[in-house]
A and B are shown apart, each in its own frame.
Chain A
Amino acid sequence: MTQLALIIDLNVCVGCSACVTSCKEWNSSGISGPMSDRNPYGKNPTGTFFNRVQTFEVGTYPNTETIHFPKSCLHCENPPCVPVCPTGASYKRPQDGIVLVDYDKCIGCKYCSWACPYGAREIDEQQRVMKKCTLCIDRIYDQSLPEAERKPACVLACPTSARIFGDVHDSESEVSHLIREQGGYTLMPEWGTKPANHYLPRRKIMRQVHEDELQRADNPLKKEAPLPIPALDEPSLEDVTSW
């Protein structure tokens, strides 16, 4: 079984929102279009997005840290939004685990958005159907694209490689390695939704320095102490004697 997903590395995300604009650009003109906006150039612009970058401040000044937090559909392995759909418009593809909405079947009742604890679904006000991240399904399988470009638009746009795309069910894939070795975690694990998307935590490079490493308790060669001066007839040894 395949479960395609995104890994988001919070350690390197700089919050530039390139993934947001790239996602909007690709999907506006793709199968998920038009992703309509209201007052796009006005005072309070609002619209449909599949991906948003939020910013959180953790801690109290001066010990604060800024977390840029990209947020999109997590393509749960146990998606609570799918069984509640009365029309079957919301579904999870068995072949690759992508959760999708059939825009021709959706009646726009918004029940699935209530049933998503992450708020990943947004209604398109113009098309009046529910929309969400498709993992760029019209791109990742496109044989006319060079293989390196068969990735979601957000992944290709990320300048710091904070977004990695792959199959989380394949233990040897790059994403599985990252989850395993860099401490990948899921959001709101308390609801048992088993999100496929994982987040990699902030990782600081730290060295544990013990007290006895600062003070040389053990110095057999007496390096810091004045070394004995050998007699003139004795042979001199570097490091052992001094002149």
Chain B
Amino acid sequence: MQPALSLIFLTILIGTGQGLFLALYANQIWSWLGFLDTPVSAMLQVLGSIVALLLLLAGLIASFFHLGHPERAWRAATRWRSSWLSREVIVLPLVILSVILYGLTWYPDSSPQSSASTSTLSLTLGTIGALLSITLFICTGMIYAGIRFLQEWSNALTIVNFTLLGAASGFTLAAVLATNNNVAHLQFFTLTAITVTLLGLITRGASLWHNRTLQHKSTPQTAIGIRHKRIFQLAQGAIGGSFNTREFFHGRNRIFMQRSRWLFIILTFVLPIILMLLALNTAGKSLLISAAICQFLGLFIERWYFFADAHHPQNLYYQNA
């Protein structure tokens, strides 16, 4: 597939926004359960909610650049019964709304000691928001995993990776935002970010392995229905290319793909884990910031690779593209 910049931005930005929100909520739950001795800072929850909101809105704006007719985008919410894309279109504004409401429950409470009433309300709203965020991850993943003949995508790992990679970048970002905070909270964010990034490395690695060992069901023989081992294409039905040769081919060679694969593994997973482990011991702010930037950049390559890695069966009709 030809990776579309709008989709790369959309999936990374909303994924990080959802992840950040999940991190704020997880911190609140962790503290509520009594694992953290200091209360959750309202400042951090408000700041985090604003950043998550901005990321989600930026993602939403990016998605409009993918459309031929953005003015008709509202129509995309009508087919939620059958289309995962439609479901995503419905859930995304709900997540945005719950992030706003969640942030507002913390806003009037600027003192470090949060009152019980806001806590119950924000816990409820946080739970709803977290469930919606996970639903949105599933919707985003299913858009790709639901196309059954794109075998690189059509498996549970796609959904798991969207969730874990979004959560990883969100938790890392939460750690950056919490640098001026209490050490216990900062440690919580850093440790969870390391864990989720590590889990993401395992599942993304698993999907890379799955795609490497994949046997494609469609062949040139089934595509044109002629039983012969050697089928060679002489003409594709267009001189200057067509939508089919532009939309479904990334046009990069194997070496480029190989290098971008290693680059994203290092930038998204390996380096951030090392930097965050160092930050755990030295409590270095700059280490956390560089880990977050590094991971964010890595995600762009990762997402580009995710799209480029999928081989559409229609490409069998365009062997010379």
User: Which residues of chain A have a CB within 8 Å of any CB of chain B?
Assistant: 15, 20, 38-39, 42-49, 52-60, 66-67, 69, 71, 80, 83-89, 105-111, 113-119, 121-123, 127-129, 185-191, 199, 201-202
Q: Name which residue of chain B comes closest to A48, CB basis.
A: B243
Q: Name which residue of chain A comes closest to B228, CB basis.
A: A58
Within 8 A of A (CB), among B11-51: none
Cα distance A55–B320 in the bound complex, in angstroms: 12
Could you mark each residue 238-249 of chain B with 1 if its beta carbon is under 8 Å from any beta carbon of chain A, else 0?
111111100110
Instruction: Kindly list chain A residues whose C-beta atoms are within 8 Å of the C-beta of B224.
Output: 56, 67, 69, 187
- Smallest CB separation, B228 vs chain A (Å): 5
Instruction: Kindly list chain A residues whose C-beta atoms are within 8 Å of the C-beta of B79.
Output: 83, 85-88
Closest A-B pairs by Cβ, 3 of them: A108-B68, A119-B314, A52-B237
Could you mark each residue 209-242 of chain B with 1 if its beta carbon is under 8 Å from any beta carbon of chain A, else 0?
0000000011010111110101111111111111
Q: Are B233 and A55 closer than 8 Å at their CB atoms?
A: yes
Q: Are A123 and B68 closer than 8 Å at their CB atoms?
A: yes
Cα distance A10–B197 in the bound complex, in angstroms: 54
30 contacts between A and B (CB under 8 A): A38-B240, A39-B240, A43-B240, A44-B240, A44-B241, A46-B241, A52-B242, A54-B235, A56-B226, A58-B230, A66-B234, A80-B148, A80-B149, A84-B82, A85-B79, A86-B78, A86-B79, A86-B83, A87-B76, A88-B75, A106-B68, A107-B76, A114-B147, A115-B147, A117-B312, A117-B313, A118-B314, A121-B243, A128-B68, A185-B225
Q: Are A190 and B222 closer than 8 Å at their CB atoms?
A: yes
Q: Name which residue of chain B comes closest to A116, CB basis.
A: B314
What is the interface of chain A mostly: helix, strand, loop, or mixed? loop
Q: Are A57 and B147 closer than 8 Å at their CB atoms?
A: no
- Smallest CB separation, B32 vs chain A (Å): 38
Q: Are A191 and B238 closer than 8 Å at their CB atoms?
A: no
Q: Are A85 and B72 closer than 8 Å at their CB atoms?
A: no
Cα distance A111–B142 in the bound complex, in angstroms: 13
Is there a chain A Cβ closer than 8 Å to B278's Cβ? no
Is there a chain A Cβ closer than 8 Å to B69's Cβ? yes
Cα distance A169–B128 in the bound complex, in angstroms: 50
Instruction: Kindly list chain A residues whose C-beta atoms are within 8 Å of the C-beta of B76.
Output: 86-87, 107, 109
Q: Are B225 and A201 closer than 8 Å at their CB atoms?
A: yes
Of B236, B240, B248, which is in contact with the most chain A CB atoms at under 10 Å from its CB?
A: B240
- Smallest CB separation, A190 vs chain B (Å): 5
Instruction: Kindly list chain B residues whose C-beta atoms are within 8 Å of the C-beta of A43.
Output: 240
Cα distance A16–B105 in the bound complex, in angstroms: 70
Within 8 A of A (CB), among B80-105: 82-86, 89
Is there a chain A Cβ closer than 8 Å to B77's Cβ? yes
Instruction: Kindly list chain B residues whose C-beta atoms are within 8 Å of the C-beta of A188.
Output: 218, 222-223, 313
- Smallest CB separation, B113 vs chain A (Å): 46
Q: Are A87 and B75 closer than 8 Å at their CB atoms?
A: yes
Q: Are A122 and B244 closer than 8 Å at their CB atoms?
A: yes
Q: Are B240 and A45 closer than 8 Å at their CB atoms?
A: yes
- Smallest CB separation, B309 vs chain A (Å): 14
Q: Are B72 and A109 closer than 8 Å at their CB atoms?
A: no
Is there a chain A Cβ closer than 8 Å to B3's Cβ? no
Cα distance A38–B228 in the bound complex, in angstroms: 37
Q: Are B317 and A129 closer than 8 Å at their CB atoms?
A: no
- Smallest CB separation, B243 vs chain A (Å): 4
Instruction: Kindly list chain B residues whose C-beta atoms are within 8 Å of the C-beta of A71.
Output: 237, 317
Instruction: Kindly list chain A residues whose C-beta atoms are within 8 Å of the C-beta of B82.
Output: 83-84
Q: Are A58 and B237 closer than 8 Å at their CB atoms?
A: no
Cα distance A15–B84 in the bound complex, in angstroms: 40
- Smallest CB separation, B217 vs chain A (Å): 5
Q: Name which residue of chain B comes closest to A39, CB basis.
A: B240
Instruction: Kindly list chain B residues whose C-beta atoms are within 8 Å of the C-beta of A108.
Output: 67-69
Q: Are A117 and B228 closer than 8 Å at their CB atoms?
A: no
Instruction: Kindly list chain B residues whose C-beta atoms are within 8 Å of the C-beta of A119.
Output: 244, 248, 312, 314-315, 317-318
Instruction: Kindly list chain A residues whose C-beta atoms are within 8 Å of the C-beta of B66.
Output: 109-110
Q: Are B233 and A109 closer than 8 Å at their CB atoms?
A: no
Q: Are A105 and B72 closer than 8 Å at their CB atoms?
A: yes
Q: Are A114 and B225 closer than 8 Å at their CB atoms?
A: no
Instruction: Kindly list chain A residues whose C-beta atoms are within 8 Å of the C-beta of B244.
Output: 119, 122
Is there a chain A Cβ closer than 8 Å to B54's Cβ? no
Cα distance A179–B89 in the bound complex, in angstroms: 43
Instruction: Kindly list chain B residues whose C-beta atoms are within 8 Å of the C-beta of A80.
Output: 147-149
Could you mark each residue 279-317 of chain B with 1 if its beta carbon is under 8 Å from any beta carbon of chain A, else 0?
000000000000000000000000000000000111101
A122-B239 contact, Cβ under 8 Å, with A54-B317, A55-B233, A56-B232:
no
Cα distance A127–B247 in the bound complex, in angstroms: 17
A56-B237 contact, Cβ under 8 Å, with A83-B83, A109-B66:
no
Is there a chain A Cβ closer than 8 Å to B184's Cβ? no
Could you mark each residue 144-184 of chain B with 1 if its beta carbon is under 8 Å from any beta carbon of chain A, else 0?
00111110000000000000000000000000000000000
Instruction: Kindly list chain B residues whose C-beta atoms are within 8 Å of the C-beta of A111.
Output: 83, 85, 143
A107-B69 contact, Cβ under 8 Å, with A46-B240, A86-B76, A114-B1:
yes
Known A86-B75, A86-B89; further 11 A-B contacts with Cβ < 8 A: A44-B240, A46-B240, A47-B242, A49-B242, A67-B224, A84-B146, A107-B69, A111-B143, A117-B312, A122-B242, A188-B218
